[in-house]
Amino acid sequence: MKKIPAVLALAGLACAATASAAPTDEPWYVGGKLGWSEFHGIKYDGSVANPRNEDKSGVGGGVFLGYQLKHWLAIEGGYDYLDKLEFDYDPNSSASLKAQGIQLAAKLSAPVSDRVDVYGRLGVMASRLSGNGDHANRASPLAALGVEYAFDRNWATRLEYQWTGRIGKQEDVGARVDNGLLSLGLLYKFGGAPAPMPVARPAPMPAPAPQARDFTLSADVLFDFNQATLKPAGRQALTTLLQQIRAETPKDAKLTIIGYTDRMGAEAYNLDLSRRRAQTAADFLVAQGVPADLVSVEGAGEADPVTGSQCDGVKKRAELIACLAPDRRVVVRVRGSAPAR
């Protein structure tokens, strides 16, 4: 019996999750995987009392599409081919059962470093076990653990172990199985744009007060697109800026770190991202010896854009991201008199 309603329910859940989520700057990604598939927990019906010459492992793989809801949460759907289970009923009879399915899962990630994340996936597969002129469809539970390495802002690879349970039905095709798939995957994240060269300079201000001075750093220099973890170039830019501040201001000068984003994405998400980026910069400066009680943090989100309306006519996403780059920035506001000379 075909279970089309189960497949429709999975598709409906994916659409609802995507529609209700706050979009990020770079939400969509696509990928493929290939690896070793093995069946275990096999249960046969009464007609297969002593199966012989079992072949329970082989090559499996699949393709997937993902949508990044938050920096730690994504929804993934895709197609998996899990290879075939082959066995002999008796010296004159054999069976070959092919396992495959369409899956939908939530992906939870946690960063280990600037480029490495560990993650887990939990969801369901609309699985199909078929062979010898018959088939069995059912909703099968699915779970996975993996580690993901980013080559750059667009390309990444992942190593993953996926478990899928209760594939097939004994009364329909003569067997029910669980499956483990150890795979290596490659994925592409849409919307990346080249990062500009590092720059740290005083921002132009009308009639600046002698006791306050602003320094502006490009957020694309400090962080990867839509991330809040400092890059090596970002650490170097902050180190250079701190040397300049120490040379021009007394030790008791107060620093206010203000984060800004561009106008792409949801306003609430941009406000949270700008504050997390400002906090990351503040934590680095404190680690370099700036007293914590002299440092405060603010998130301004997409407020006060530098570009104004100059990017309004840009339609292509990659070009728009590049055009809005000046809006993505971190401002270090220094309050304190200049040191005596």
Rounded Cα–Cα distance for residues 75 and 66 (Å): 6
Which residues fall within 8 angstroms of residue 261, CB to CB, at 6 or more apart? Answer: 25, 219, 270, 273, 274, 301, 302, 327, 328
As a whole number of angstroms, the longest Cα–Cα distance in the chain is: 99
Q: pLDDT grade, residue 309 (50/70/90)?
A: confident
In 3D space, the residue among 293, 295, 225, 228 whose CA is nearest the CA of residue 257 turns out to be: 295
What is the distance between the alpha carbons of residues 269 and 21, in angstroms, rounded to a whole number? Answer: 10
DSSP-based three-state secondary structure for 9: helix
Tokens of 53: 């010459």
Rounded Cα distance, 265 and 255, in Å? 29
Question: What is the Cβ-side half-sphere exposure of residue 259, based on CA atoms within 13 angstroms?
Answer: 27
Provide CATH 2.40.160.20 ranges for the chain: 4-189
CATH topology of domain 4-189: Porin (2.40.160)
Over the stretch 60-113, which tens digit does the pLDDT of each residue have? 999 999 998 888 999 999 999 999 988 776 666 778 899 999 999 999 999 998
Q: What is the mean pLDDT of the chain?
A: 83
Query: Is the pLDDT at 300 greater than 50, yes or no?
Result: yes
Q: What is the DSSP string of 176-210?
A: EEEEEEEEEEEEEETT--PPPPP-EEEPP-SS--T
d(CA 240, CA 190): 32
Domain with CATH 3.30.1330.60 in the chain: 200-335
- Quickly state the pLDDT bin for 339 (edges 50, 70, 90): very low
How far out from the chain centre does Cα 6 lie? Answer: 27
Pick the most confident of 48-57, 73-82, 185-194: 73-82
In angstroms, the CA 224 to CA 163 distance is: 32
**Is 50 exceeded by the pLDDT of residue 341?**
no
CB contact set of 70 (below 8 Å; sequence gap of 6+): 21, 22, 24, 269
CA distances from 175 to 99, 101, 164 (A): 11, 16, 15
Q: What is the 3-state secondary structure (H, E, C) of 73-92?
A: EEEEEEEEEEEEEEEEEECC
- Under a CB-based contact definition with an 8 Å cutoff, are residues 55 and 87 in contact? yes
Question: Between these two residues, 52 and 136, which has the higher pLDDT value?
Answer: 136
* Distance in angstroms (rounded) separating the CA atoms of residues 70 and 184: 24
Check residue 312 and give its pLDDT.
86
Q: Is 275 helix (H, G, I), strand (E, B) or coil?
A: helix
Q: Which residues lie below 8 Å from residue 81, measured CB to CB, with a gap of 6+? A: 60, 61, 62, 99, 100
Q: pLDDT tens, 195-232? A: 445 556 666 665 445 467 888 998 888 888 888 899 99
217 φ/ψ angles, rounded to the nearest 5 degrees: -120, 135
200-335: CATH architecture: 2-Layer Sandwich (3.30)
